[in-house]
Amino acid sequence: MIALLALVAASALVACGSSTDTTAEETAVSGKFAPVADAPAGYSEVSGEADLERSGSGTEVSLTVSGLEPKTAYVAHLHTGGCDQADPGGPHFQFEQGGPEEPPNEIHLEFTTDSAGEGEAEATSKREVPAGEAGSVVIHVGDESHHEMTAYDPTDSEAVATILVHEGVDHSKEGGHHEEAEPEHAHSDKVACAELEGAAAAEGGTASGGDVPTIVVRDGEPVGGVQELEYSAGEEIRFRVSSDAAEEIHVHGYDLSQNVPAGGTVEFDFPAELEGIYEAELEELGVQIIELRINP
Amino acid sequence: MSFLPLAHALASRQDLPVPAWLFAWGASIVLVVSFFALAAGWRSPRFEQLHERPLGAGLSRALLGLPVQILCGTIGVFLLGFAVYAGLEGTAAPDRNFALTFLFVTCWLGFPFFSAVLGDLFRPFNPWRAIGRVTGAGFRAIAGQRPAHLAYPERLGRWPAAIGLLAVVWLEVVYGNGGTGFDPHTVAVATLVYSAYTLAMMAAFGTEKWSESGEVFSVYFGMFGRLGIFGTRDGRLERRRPFSAATTWATIPGSVAVVIASISTTSFDGGQEGAFKDAIETVYGWFLDAGTNPTLSLRLAGTIFMLLCFAGVAAIYLLGVRGMRTVPGAPSFARLRAGFAHTLIPIALAYLVAHYFSYFVFQEQAQFGYLLSDPLGTGHTDLFGTAGSGVDYTVLSANAIWYVQVAALIAGHVIGLTLAHDRALVYWPDYRKATASQYWMLAVMVAFTCFGLYLLSVSNG
């Protein structure tokens, strides 16, 4: 088993201005694949592109990549974070957070490279990935846990993409299936990463996911500085915080706390009952990440 | 642009900026009131006499007698000692330690607020004065003579208190702003150092002399106490006309520096995240670029702006004084400068109320809630069953806070104008000249009040 191709993605090109467009218009973002710094021999030449297109009624993700091992099975996942973090991409994107770690709740693209080490793949979903949440596409070495690469046709010199949106098939294991319960095996076999909206989040600090702003915390700091969120009294306050390290997020005044695991995201959702300006901070570090303004 | 790594030790909440419409109303009322004040032009001073009425002899004896003096002094010494102990031994979390809220909210804000209504409340509880008096009494009992003191240099006046006032606020809002300096331990050590310094000065110059001139807290709280309605004279408690005792406050040199220090430090704190933020950030950036570390850069930038505030407030006042000098028959510049200093006390109080009133109301819930039951913040002490209590932020709505802020500034403006007009009538018996001189003070007051409104209305963050 090819393990420990743990990597850090280097170049990250990115995402267009329309990524924050929340209307149902067609929007597309794309990013270039790059291998990671201490990638083992054989993956230093990886390049290619990932595209994500929102059509209002669904999402289409596609990739073309070269520089991989010939005739080898790979799988790519849509992740929420950017490439430029300790765990490239962070957690998998999920439509229902904490739900099944498989399509259709996640977006997976499986493919096998041709003899030249090139491949392409495409996946569609009938749901739209919220703006700002399509952080990156990360390619993993396909291992034993992914046996669904059925569409490979050895007679065809071109790699064949497998469309892996398993509509109607319930892959979820029964019962509560927590992310922490099963250490992400995939972390050990990442090959390359293409940043989509991860860098948009990196520049703005807030990637609005639908109406829900997400505050990205990296290296103990809110990316782009303290985020200002404004509400009127009585409204619903909703925001997400994703962090590369485990932290306790504390909203002062309202006195709400949640622990975010390393590479994870937590969502706050509470009514704006208290007027004034309140801080949310990384409790252990005492670093402010959000300024909440609640107007009367 | 580098953003300021400000951290609030105690306040996890800030007031919303006053909305534009309320700013406009406030400023309009200030102008209308000011013109009315000029037009009214009363011809004899209203507040220059105290009109004191002694309270009952029995009540005076009971409240001012030696047992009560000893009791109050003991309470003062105990609380100071306890705050230092909590600071040294308790949790390092500023908001969970009794010391910071007690010293910087309950005392630092509570004494001005309540003294301004009731009269000087700090004097009976002043722990250093209590220690000084007991030591003095002990010395007399043992040595059989009065302790010999150095003559206090009168020219120094209240300057030590003014500088001390800047230092205290600097510790809180500049040094403590990086989130590293304002911890209970540092404050406890600073309190011990200050106590040693104060007791040494009291030993050198005499307890009462130092309390009157050099001791920061006595002078600062006492200044606001001059607005209050109760005072003492010859061991007798008396009721006096409100604000009237202020008229005799600034007779000691350097008094004007104390009141200017008060206004300017409040302005600085109010503006550092709003009106002055961009400018401070720029200077902070210069220091960073010069290779200074962020914490020091922040403190340097803050120090510079606090001193600039002091210079700015002083300049506005001195310009007004300079203007009054042009009115025929004016007394000397120095006399005018000291003569109108007390008219700024209501402005200083208004600034304090406007900037810290909600903070005081909220933080006192912590003081008398969880901090009282768990003063060291250990998490497993619950003396009065309130260790689990929190702060109810719904007791004041944003609107209520705005109205109090604007009302405080307008009230301070009116009282300041009134005291100034009174004082002008003392210097210029001809009321027309007195009124002419007051165009200048009016401009000063309008400047301070509108600046205060502006600080409140600038969106912080």
> What's the gap in Å between the CA of A284 and the closest CA on chain B?
11
Q: Is B407 helix (H, G, I), strand (E, B) or coil?
A: helix
> What's the gap in Å between the CA of B395 and the closest CA on chain A?
10
Among the residue ranges B49-58, B82-91, B308-317, B433-442, the one predicted with the least confidence is B49-58
Say whether domain A17-199 belongs to CATH 2.60.40.200.
yes
> What's the gap in Å between the CA of B354 and the closest CA on chain A?
15
Q: H or E segment at A232?
A: strand A227-232
Complex confidence, ipTM? 0.82
pLDDT of residue B461: 39
- The residues in B 236-295 lying below 8 A from A, measured between CB atoms, are none
Query: Does B20 contact chain A (CB < 8 Å)?
Result: no
User: B61: phi > 0 → left, psi -120 to 50 → alpha, else beta; which?
Assistant: alpha
Question: At which residue do the structure tokens 């994107």 appear?
Answer: A93
pLDDT of residue A156: 41
pLDDT of residue B9: 59
**Which of B1, B8, B13 would you mutate first to test chain A, the one with the most A CBs within 10 A?**
B13
Domains A17-199 and A211-295 equal at CATH topology level: yes
Closest CA to B177 of A293, A256, B186: B186
Convert the pLDDT of each residue in B392-415 to its tens digit: 888 988 999 999 999 999 999 999
| Both structure tokens of A81 | 């974070």
pLDDT of residue B290: 92
- B80: pLDDT strictly greater than 90: yes
Among the residue ranges A171-175, B8-12, B406-410, B431-435, the one predicted with the least confidence is A171-175
Convert the pLDDT of each residue in B222-268 to its tens digit: 999 999 999 988 888 999 999 999 999 999 999 999 999 999 999 99
Distance of CA B335 to the CA centre of its chain: 24
B211 vs A39, higher pLDDT: B211
The hierarchical CATH code for the domain A211-295 is: 2.60.40.420
Q: Mutual orientation of helices B159-173 and B255-271 as an angle, nearest 10°?
A: 10
- B312: pLDDT strictly greater than 90: yes
- Going A133 to A137 to A141 to A147, the CA torsion angle's sign is positive
* List of chain A residues with pLDDT < 70: 1-26, 36-41, 85-86, 143-188, 198-211
B394–A274 C-beta distance less than 8 A? yes
pLDDT of residue A192: 85
DSSP string, B273-292: TTTTHHHHHHHHHHHHHTT-
B393–A286 C-beta distance less than 8 A? no
pLDDT of residue A152: 41
Convert the pLDDT of each residue in B279-296 to its tens digit: 998 999 999 999 888 888
B96 CB neighbours in chain A (<8 A) are: none
| Both structure tokens of A140 | 């993993």
Tell me how far apart the alpha carbons of residues A134 and B317 are, in angstroms, rounded to a whole number. 59
- B25: pLDDT strictly greater than 50: yes
B460 vs B372, higher pLDDT: B372
What residues does each domain of chain A span?
A: 17-199, 211-295
A276–B460 C-beta distance less than 8 A? no
First-to-final CA distance of chain A: 60
- B157: pLDDT strictly greater than 70: yes
- B89: pLDDT strictly greater than 80: yes
pLDDT of residue B268: 92
Q: Mutual orientation of helices B66-89 and B57-64 as an angle, nearest 10°?
A: 30
Entry pTM: 0.71
B358 CB neighbours in chain A (<8 A) are: 276
pLDDT of residue A224: 80
What residues does each domain of chain B span?
A: 20-457
> Would you say B441 and B320 are in contact if contact means Cβ atoms under 8 Å apart?
yes
B56 vs B162, higher pLDDT: B162
A200 vs B192, higher pLDDT: B192
Number of Cβ within a 10 Å radius of residue B157: 24
pLDDT of residue A174: 40
> What's the gap in Å between the CA of A277 and the closest CA on chain B?
5
Q: What are phi and psi of B189, to 5 degrees?
A: -65, -45
Average pLDDT rounded to a whole number, residues B55-80:
91
Tell me how far apart the alpha carbons of residues B431 and B435 are, in angstroms, rounded to a whole number. 6
pLDDT of residue B48: 84
Query: Does B145 contact chain A (CB < 8 Å)?
Result: no
Q: Which candidate from A252, A286, A295 shows the least CB-CB separation from B398?
A: A295
Convert the pLDDT of each residue in B91-136 to its tens digit: 988 888 999 999 999 999 999 999 999 999 999 999 999 999 999 9
pLDDT of residue A131: 72
Chain A residue closest to B12 (CA)? A252
pLDDT of residue A43: 81
A278–B461 C-beta distance less than 8 A? no
DSSP string, A241-289: EEESS-EEEEETTTTEEEEE-TT-EEEEEEE--S-EEEEEEETTTTEEE
Question: At which residue do the structure tokens 């009560």 appear?
Answer: B68
